[in-house]
Amino acid sequence: MSGQIFWNGTALPYRPGETVATALTRAGVLRFGVAPGGQARGIFCGIGQCQGCLVQVGARLTEACLLPCRDGLMVSDAGGPQHG
């Protein structure tokens, strides 16, 4: 393993070159949040076109499938009641 990211406060390991989506999926996290229409967010296209894998990083939403892991990165679910 290379380091760890934090998913909703829980430390998860990642491997060199992995995206956040890959690290989350390998850790068993398949639901990345809830879309405004109530659908679960997660990996769909894997190339950033569908925006189905949006996650919260700081004050911005970004595609987990395009976001490279880096040690200490804080990521949380997007959508649902806690994010409006």
Nearest CA among 12, 2, 18, 1 for reference residue 74: 12
Instruction: Name all domains of the chain by residue range, CATH numbers in brackets.
Output: 3-83 (3.10.20.440)
Residue with the bigger pLDDT between 30 and 82: it is: 30
| 17-71 pLDDT tens trace | 999 999 999 999 999 988 888 888 899 899 989 889 999 999 999 999 999 999 9
pLDDT at 7 over 80: yes
- Taking the whole predicted model, whether its pTM rises above 0.85 is answered as yes
Decide: 56 and 83 in contact? Cβ < 8 Å. Answer: yes
Q: How confident is the model over 9-18, as a mean pLDDT?
A: 96
